[in-house]
């Protein structure tokens, strides 16, 4: 049995090790990581999945970004330990975290990923949303958490800047 809980500081190193295991070396050089520099993940949406023995099976994080000045959630990374892949854990993390995002009042979410996988969770290609290079525009996907939330939202994706 897998249980979800909000990621804590005590989980951080173990989650980072999972991301290192699941993604290619140099993952932090990707444009999505540049958008995360100096910005904290959205704590309520950063979840870890552990089995009854407390072993980490998967993790998901979200980050606030701006698209043309509008607030957007950037999903990622999401990873499942190789020993737990094929069990539906990645989908479980995505569905549950999106439900929390809706409850928290977020309107829209985007990610960089493979459309054939993410369309099953309601993600579609975003036209007019521009990630920093080198990002393949066909991999920029979004989902409205509120009907029409992506209407008239376009432009460059930029770092979330907190105003004092």
User: pLDDT tens across 127-145, in order?
Assistant: 999 998 888 899 999 999 9
Average pLDDT over residues 75-90: 94
What values do phi and psi take at 101, rounded to 5?
-60, -40
Instruction: Tell me the sheet residues that pair with 117.
Output: none
pLDDT at 30 over 70: no
The stretch 116-133 carries a mean pLDDT of 94
Q: How confident is the model at residue 164 (pLDDT cuts 50, 70, 90)?
A: very low
User: Which stretches does DSSP call E strand in the chain?
Assistant: 2-6, 47-51, 56-67, 70-80, 108-112, 124-125, 129-130, 140-144, 155-159
- Mean per-residue pLDDT of the chain: 91
Please list, residue by residue across 22-55, b when 16 or more beta carbons sit within 10 angstroms of its beta carbon and e when fewer do.
beeeeeeebebeebbeeeeebeebbbbbbeeeee
Q: What is the rounded CA–CA span in Å between residue 103 and residue 84? A: 28
* Fold category of 2-159 in CATH: Aminopeptidase (3.40.630)
- Those residues whose C-beta lies under 8 Å from the C-beta of residue 53, and which sit 6 or more positions away, are none
Q: Report pLDDT for 63.
A: 94
The least confident of 79-83, 122-126, 156-160 is 156-160
Which of 103-107, 122-126, 156-160 has the weakest average pLDDT?
156-160
Among candidate residues 72, 76, 98, 73, the one with its CA nearest the CA of residue 153: 72
Which of 91, 72, 68 has its CA nearest to residue 141? 72
């Amino acid at each position: 049995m897998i249980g979800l809980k909000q990621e804590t500081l005590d989980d951080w190193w173990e989650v980072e090790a999972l991301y290192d295991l699941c993604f290619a070396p140099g993952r932090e050089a990707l444009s999505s990581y540049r958008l995360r520099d100096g910005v904290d993940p959205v704590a309520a949406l950063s979840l870890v999945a552990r089995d009854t023995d407390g072993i980490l099976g998967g993790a998901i994080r979200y980050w606030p970004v701006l698209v043309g000045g509008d607030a957007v959630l950037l999903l990622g990374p999401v990873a499942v330990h190789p020993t737990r892949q094929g069990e539906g854990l990645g989908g479980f993390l995505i569905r549950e975290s999106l439900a929390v995002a809706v409850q928290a009042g977020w309107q829209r979410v985007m990610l960089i990923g493979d459309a054939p996988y993410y369309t099953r969770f309601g993600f579609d290609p975003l036209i007019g949303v521009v990630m920093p290079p080198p990002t393949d525009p066909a991999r920029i996907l979004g989902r409205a958490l509120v009907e029409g939330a992506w209407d008239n939202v376009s432009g460059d994706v930029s770092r979330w800047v907190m105003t004092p």
